[in-house]
Homo-oligomer: A and B are copies of this chain.
Amino acid sequence: MDTALDLHGPLTEDELRRLDAYWRAANYLTVGQIYLLDNPLLREPLKPEHVKPRLLGHWGTSPGLNLLYTHLNRIIVNRDLSAIFVTGPGHGGPALVANTWLEGTYSELYHSVSRDETGMQRLFRQFSFPGGIPSHVAPEVPGSIHEGGELGYALSHAYGAAFDNPDLLVACVIGDGEAETGPLAGSWLSNVFLNPARDGAVLPILHLNGYKIANPTVLDRISTEDLLDLMRGYGHQPYIVEGDDPTKVHQTLAATLDRACDEIAEIQRRARSGGTVERPRWPMIILRTPKGWTGPARVDGKQVEGTYRAHQVPISEVRKNPEHLAELERWLRSYRPEELFDATGAPVGDLAALPPTGDRRMSANPVANGGRLLRDLDLPDFRDYAVDVKKPGEPAVGATGVLGTWVRDVISRNPQTFRLFGPDEVASNRLGAAFEVTDRAFVADTVEGDDHLSADGRVMEVLSEHLCEGWLEGYLLTGRHGIFTSYEAFIHIVDSMVNQHAKWLKVTRGIPWREPVASLNYLLSSHVWRQDHNGFSHQDPGFIDHVVNKKAEVVRVYLPPDANTLLSTMDHCLRSRHYINVVVAGKQPAPNWLSMDEAVQHCRRGLGIWDWASTDEGAEPDVVLACAGDVPTLETLAAAELLRQHLPELKVRVVNVVDLMRLQPPSEHPHGLPDNEFDTIFTRDKPIIFAYHGYPWLIHRLTYRRANHDNLHVRGYKEEGTTTTPFDMVMLNDLDRFHLVIDVIDRVPGLASRAAHLRQEMVDARQACRDHTRRYGEDDPRVAEWRWIRETDQALRGEQ
């Protein structure tokens, strides 16, 4: 197969001239943003005071981005395509801003930056300056769903955008620097999950400009044959567009884009004309052009164009160095601005007529402002999936398994706007009911015995948290809905991606034309307390801590203690907008506490006193037992029961927390409970023993401003664990029922002496339990353990 098309066509002389002029205009506007304060059209000779005092921006990648944007405009117009542009090298912000201004979108959204000389001057001044706009392809840039500040996610975002968008072309530029990152390297095979019949197309464009900040790039320095093999290995048909002669590159790029679009159209036609979907060989383009192309070749005797020195600002100290000033002026004038802009400063007619119009402009495509397209999900009534709780604790059913039946029906009722994402753990996390109505998406060879694989599957499973996250972000930002389910410990793999998404959400709240998108919902199961079989490497509840560092307006954390509260919580999350919702829930059979009505009410409040488990009977208690998370709730209720039996006169109040952010003051988080309500529930001066799912200090960090904080004593995970039984896990971390009773005895004034005997019983029970766990019994040690613990509980209570 050909990998390089080197033709005389397809552009006519006139088309070529116009394309090149448009490219020059975009380049001119890019350089203007980096350098100019005034004299935007160079109507007078450039003077030092026309130049910005601080020079900021990334030139190196920009001419390539401008070239691609220009040529994509051509094929959009020629073929009436719906396309968006994902800018992997997001540092090239001024290039994208230039293009959106050229095609008018920028001025429509930011009126003061009009498409005339005044507007151009504002466009230049505002770039990378206080009160202006950021230097990257930030959310402020129309048409962007991807900032590209932290590198690695361009391609996964592109695929996420393409899913369920059959008419969309996502042009995804990948810098050769970004291509070195793990997440990007792992994204290429996303094409195994893209269904040409139902999904849109992604056109990856690897932009080999050879250098990063200070180093050559790896992919530029391996042999071309290896590079082509690599792309073929990823399942692509690669085409190389290479050169530094604009005329030739224009022709080759135009021909190559035509060919790529033809191939994509043919792939889609075949897939959509019926029959089985086979994995197609999608085209991709390798664009090899000089870094900082069209910029100054040499500065101060050193090569700049085509080297890492072109990465940011090629000519520095322009105000003070007359030679540099002259060099900058030569550079700017090399684009011949007088041919590009009319007397008013607007693009000349030829140029203005070149890009697509209206929503066909990549900067105005509603797909890239997903909130505009977002529709509410058709959600089945979660109450219909309730566990019938006869009395607190019964039946014992795994929460995520129950949720799975509801998720199944969410999938059924929303066949084009909802997907479930997970790293090979959907069934392991007990959401397998989904497979009653759909499959796992998979567009590669299948064999007999494969379990629910098809090109049409709506469950996205790949052993990569990065891909799940990137796909889902791309899917959400283009107006759809989803859930990411993962083992709790390994969601840390995407910590930094979550950071970036949280920042995106925070910033877009302040951009009026950006409509809210669906929330990013995490369902974390196989959590720290029930990774007893995998051991220490799988035990980490710190993702919550990570998320709550982000802006309070965008983060929510829920710890439903059982199935009905989980149903209510997830229903709420799927209705919410523009948040990051973290939900942690268990998958193992576990007691259920609340009827559906109680669950709904409890979730609405976010936290509350469980009267049925308390012995304070509405009066001021002697001690508050608080809990958050399914396992801590179980241990707390067991401790309350032990206390009820042994210290019946002790007034114990049990408080359960579903919505963790209720613990913060309202000044810190919108969900924060007012101080008076907090004090009413937690008292102002009684000991609080708080059994928490994660690292205990988080509870202190959330509550340190509360009146009763000094009396708060938190138990949680303190980084102790191994392959052992579930109860041994809580004991290793002092979160077990016996230890909670000890904590009560040690903290309630006057109880130490009165309950010395009980305290010793608890100490003995812990030791006996550890001994028991370490003995092999007749049964599964988990079963034996629970039976033994129950017997211990009963014996301690004086029951049979």
Q: Which A residues form the contact surface with B (CB < 8 A)? A: 37, 49, 52-54, 56, 90-91, 125, 128-136, 138, 147, 149-152, 177-178, 180-189, 192, 212-218, 221-223, 226-235, 279, 303, 307-308, 424-428, 440, 442, 444-447, 449-451, 453, 461-467, 489-490, 492-493, 495-496, 499-500, 503, 506-507, 533-538, 540, 542, 545-546, 549-551, 695, 697-698, 700-701, 704, 709, 719, 722-725, 728, 773-774, 776-784
CB-CB < 8 A to A447: which residues of B? 216
A36 vs chain B, min Cβ distance (A): 11
Known: A150-B538, A182-B183. 7 other contacts (CB 8 A): A128-B533, A128-B723, A182-B464, A185-B189, A214-B461, A228-B233, A545-B545
The 9 A-B pairs at the shortest CB distance, nearest first, are namely: A230-B233, A149-B537, A182-B186, A229-B233, A185-B186, A182-B182, A492-B496, A182-B183, A185-B185
Chain B: minimal CB distance from A580 (Å): 13
> Contacts of A428 on B, CB cut-off 8 Å?
213-214
Closest beta carbon of chain B to A210's beta carbon, Å: 9
Q: Which residues of B contact A133 (CB under 8 A)?
A: 723
The residue of chain B having its C-beta at the shortest distance from the C-beta of A189 within the complex is B218
Closest to A176 in B: B463
Expressed in whole angstroms, the Cα–Cα distance for A659 and B481 within the complex equals 45
A71 to chain B, nearest CB (A): 26
CB distance from A102 to the nearest CB of B (A): 22
A588 to chain B, nearest CB (A): 13
Copies in the complex: 2
Residue of B nearest to A210 (CB): B447
Q: Is the CB of A781 within 8 A of B129?
A: yes
Partner of A227, one of B149, B233, B307: B233
Known: A184-B186, A192-B218, A695-B549. A150 touches B725 (CB 8 A): no
Q: If the complex has contacts A212-B424, A232-B229, are A784 and B53 also in contact, measured as CB distance less than 8 A?
A: yes
Residues of B within 8 A of A461 (CB): 214-215
Compute how far the CA of A133 lies from the CA of B425 in the bound complex, rounded to whole angstroms: 25
Residue of B nearest to A55 (CB): B780
Residues of B with C-beta under 8 A to A698? 701
Contacts of A445 in B (CB 8 A): 221-223
- Known contacts A54-B782, A496-B492: does B545 contact A549 (CB below 8 Å)? yes
Tell me whether A774 and B701 are in contact (CB under 8 A).
Answer: no
Residues from chain B with Cβ under 8 Å of A213 in the complex: 424-425, 427-428
Given A54-B781, A308-B451, A444 and B538 contact (CB-CB distance below 8 Å) = no
Beta-carbon nearest neighbor of A722 in chain B: B134
Please indicate the chain B residues that have their CB under 8 angstroms from the CB of A216 in the complex: 442, 446-447, 450, 453
* Chain B contacts for A188, CB-based, 8 A: 185
- Given B446, B451, B777, which contacts A214 in the complex, CB threshold below 8 Å? B451
A177 CB to nearest chain B CB (Å): 5
Give the residues in chain B near A773, CB-CB below 8 Å: 130-131
Q: How many angstroms between the C-alpha atoms of A789 and B463 in the bound complex? A: 53
Q: Which residues of B contact A776 (CB under 8 A)?
A: 37, 52-53, 125, 129
Please state if B222 and A235 are interface contacts (CB–CB under 8 Å). Answer: yes
User: Are A462 and B180 also in contact (CB < 8 A) when A134-B535, A779-B53 are?
Assistant: yes
Asked if A728 and B134 make an inter-chain contact with CB atoms under 8 angstroms apart, the answer reads no
A493–B150 touching, CB < 8 Å:
yes
* A17 CA to B128 CA, complexed, in Å: 71
A235 to B226: give the CA distance in the assembly, Å.
7
Q: How far is the CB of A212 from chain B (nearest CB, A)?
A: 5
Option from B440, B507, B537 in Cβ contact (under 8 Å) with A503:
B537
The smallest beta-carbon distance between A131 and chain B, in angstroms, is: 4
Residues on the B chain within 8 Å of A152, using CB: 182, 493
Residues from chain B with Cβ under 8 Å of A185 in the complex = 182, 185-186, 188-189
Question: A709 contacts which chain B residues (CB < 8 A)?
Answer: 704
A537 to chain B: which residues have CB within 8 Å? 90, 136, 138, 147, 149-150, 500, 503
Q: Are B181 and A189 in contact (CB under 8 A)?
A: no
Q: CB distance A130 to B186 under 8 Å?
A: no
Instruction: From B134, B189, B229, B551, give the contact of A180 (CB < 8 A).
Output: B189
Whether B495 contacts A303 by the Cβ 8 Å rule is: no
Residues on B with C-beta less than 8 A from A425 are 213
The answer to whether B232 and A233 touch across the interface, beta carbons within 8 angstroms, is yes
A182 to B190, CA, bound (A): 11
Shortest A84–chain B CB gap in Å is: 20
CB distance from A160 to the nearest CB of B (A): 15
The answer on a CB contact under 8 Å between A536 and B467 is no
Chain B nearest CB, measured from A313 CB (Å): 10
Chain B nearest Cβ from A538, distance in angstroms: 6
Distance (whole angstroms) from the CB of A493 to the closest CB of chain B: 5
Query: A462's contact among B91, B138, B218, by CB below 8 Å, is which?
Result: B218
For A461, the closest partner residue in chain B by CB is B215
Task: Select which of B453, B463, B500 is within 8 A of A178 by beta carbon.
Answer: B463
Q: Report chain B residues within 8 Å CB of A91.
A: 534
Contacts of A780 in B (CB 8 A): 53-54
Contacts of A503 in B (CB 8 A): 536-537, 719
Q: How far is the CB of A575 from chain B (nearest CB, A)?
A: 25
Q: How far is the CB of A687 from chain B (nearest CB, A)?
A: 15
Q: Supply 23 A–B pairs (Cβ within 8 Å), ascending by A.
A: A53-B779, A56-B723, A90-B537, A91-B534, A129-B776, A130-B723, A136-B534, A177-B424, A181-B465, A182-B183, A182-B184, A189-B222, A192-B222, A213-B427, A215-B440, A216-B446, A216-B447, A218-B444, A307-B449, A503-B537, A542-B549, A546-B546, A701-B704
Chain B residue contacts of A462, Cβ below 8 A:
180, 218
Contacting pair A215 B453 (CB below 8 A): yes
CA distance A90 to B538 in the complex (A): 12
CB of A137 to closest CB in B, whole Å: 10
**Residue numbers in B under 8 Å from A540 (CB-CB):** 499
A781 contacts B230, C-beta separation under 8 Å: no
**Which residue from chain B places its CB closest to the CB of A151 in the assembled complex?**
B463
Check if A424 sits within 8 Å of B221, measured CB to CB.
no
CB distance from A403 to the nearest CB of B (A): 18
Q: Is the CB of A221 within 8 A of B444?
A: yes
Closest to A128 in B: B723
Query: In the complex, which residues of chain B have a beta carbon less than 8 angstroms from the beta carbon of A778?
Result: 49, 53
Residues of B within 8 A of A449 (CB): 303, 307
Assembly CA distance A465 to B178 (angstroms): 11
A719 touches B535 (CB 8 A): no
- Which partner residue on chain B sits nearest A721 by CB separation? B503
Give the complex CA separation of A723 and B464 in angstroms.
32
